[in-house]
Amino acid sequence: MLIAQITDFHLCAPGALVYEGIDTNGHLRDTVRRLNALSPRPDLVLGTGDLVDHGTVEEYLHLKEILSALEIPIYLIVGNHDDRGPFREVFGDQPYLRGVSGKFLNYAFDAGGVRLIGFDTAVHGVSYGEACEERVAWLDAELARHPDQPTIIFMHHPPFETGIWWMDASRLRGSHRLAEVVQRHRQIRRIWCGHLHRSIFSEWAGVLCSISPSTAHHVSLDMDGTAFMEMLMEPRAFHLHKVEADGRVLTHTVNVELPNERYLPGDRMAGGLDAFRARYQAMYEQMSSGAL
């Protein structure tokens, strides 16, 4: 099963720009086109928060309109730029949200033999996230219902430090609560996050966690703390996860833009591209047969 994880679209009202210069609306349209054209096409898409920039009904209606061009089912969770009320008003009719009641937008579903859990980490009006007692208790109970099914959690705020201090200031609070539950339920294979606007991997609570890059603007690689609030137009990208039924996961980073030119050095190789391909096919078959 192929799962595309797109995150931090920060979509605006039609015609508006983020930080007075970033066309996040156009970026999301490009991303939808790229997803539809992927081969093989992903089985589903996860949108891991900061779906819109200001959490208004107008923005969510615009998001719904842009996502209507996506030819793959998409599941959304909220981030710190979202607002549950307006989000529910516009997206509450989505099948995966219909049974969700209460304060938080937590839900779980099966796909390709794997359990996927959307975990709501948002706190209204602030940029940091929280794994509060109520949410962690819900997660604990959900995990206890499917102890033998490989499980992946997707959520907006990462629970680990990234070394970019000003983004770490708004990471997940109460992560010790979450860690206790994650360590106890051994069926969890991965935790997928957003919020940092960069591709980052780390082991946390015994699980490999990853942060997908943003389909819009990026946070500067700022390991010495000198680039406060610097947003860069690095290549817009997302994570493409290949998930096996036993829970093994392989993750690629996919850029939204393709380069204009393709370079095929095989044409200049001895014997031409076909002979080159035949040599590699033979090598691959040897590797796959276990002969080497």
Residue (of 202, 198, 191, 192) closest to 215 by Cα position: 198
Residue span binding Fe ion (CB under 5 A) among the ranges 79-87, 107-115, 147-155, 243-251: 79-87
Q: Considering the rule CB under 5 A, would residue 53 count as an interface residue with Fe ion?
A: no
CB of 197: closest distance to Fe ion in angstroms?
A: 6
Report the residue number, 42 or 79, with the smaller CB distance to Fe ion. 79
Q: Yes or no: say if 255 and 212 are a contact pair by the CB < 8 Å rule.
A: no
Q: Work out whether 79 is an interface residue with Fe ion (CB under 5 A).
A: yes
Question: Rule CB under 5 A: is residue 173 a binding residue for Fe ion?
Answer: no
Q: Are 73 and 79 in contact (CB under 8 A)?
A: no
Binding segment for Fe ion (CB under 5 A), chosen from 54-62, 71-79, 159-167, 264-272, is 71-79
Exactly one of 195, 198, 218, 239 binds Fe ion (CB under 5 A); that residue is 195
Asked if residue 40 has a cis previous peptide bond (ω within 30° of 0), the answer is: yes
Find the binding residues for Fe ion in span 204-243 (CB under 5 A): none
Number of shown-chain residues binding Fe ion (CB under 5 A): 5
Binder of Fe ion out of 5, 31, 80, 215 (CB under 5 A): 80
Residue 24: CB minimum distance to Fe ion, A: 10
- Return the beta strands (E) in the chain as ranges: 2-6, 44-48, 74-77, 107-111, 114-119, 129-130, 151-155, 172-173, 188-193, 200-204, 207-211, 218-219, 231-232, 237-243, 249-255
8 Å CB contact between 40 and 224: no
Residue 4 vs 216, nearer CB to Fe ion: 216
Q: Determine, following the binding rule CB under 5 A, whether residue 42 of this chain makes contact with Fe ion.
A: no
What are the start-end ranges of the H helices in the chain?
24-37, 57-67, 84-91, 95-98, 133-145, 165-168, 175-184, 272-289
- Which one of residues 8, 82, 130, 222 is an interface residue with Fe ion (CB under 5 A)? 8
Binding segment (CB under 5 A) for Fe ion, from list 4-12, 25-33, 57-65, 281-289: 4-12
Q: Which of 27, 50, 175, 219 binds Fe ion (CB under 5 A)?
A: 50
Q: What is the spatial distance between Cα 272 and Cα 29, in angstroms, rounded to a whole number? A: 39
Tokens 């970019």 belong to 164
Do residues 193 and 238 make contact, with C-beta atoms less than 8 angstroms apart?
A: no
Rounded to the nearest whole angstrom, what is the least distance from the CB of residue 35 to Fe ion in the complex? 19
- Contact footprint for Fe ion (CB under 5 A): 8, 50, 79-80, 195
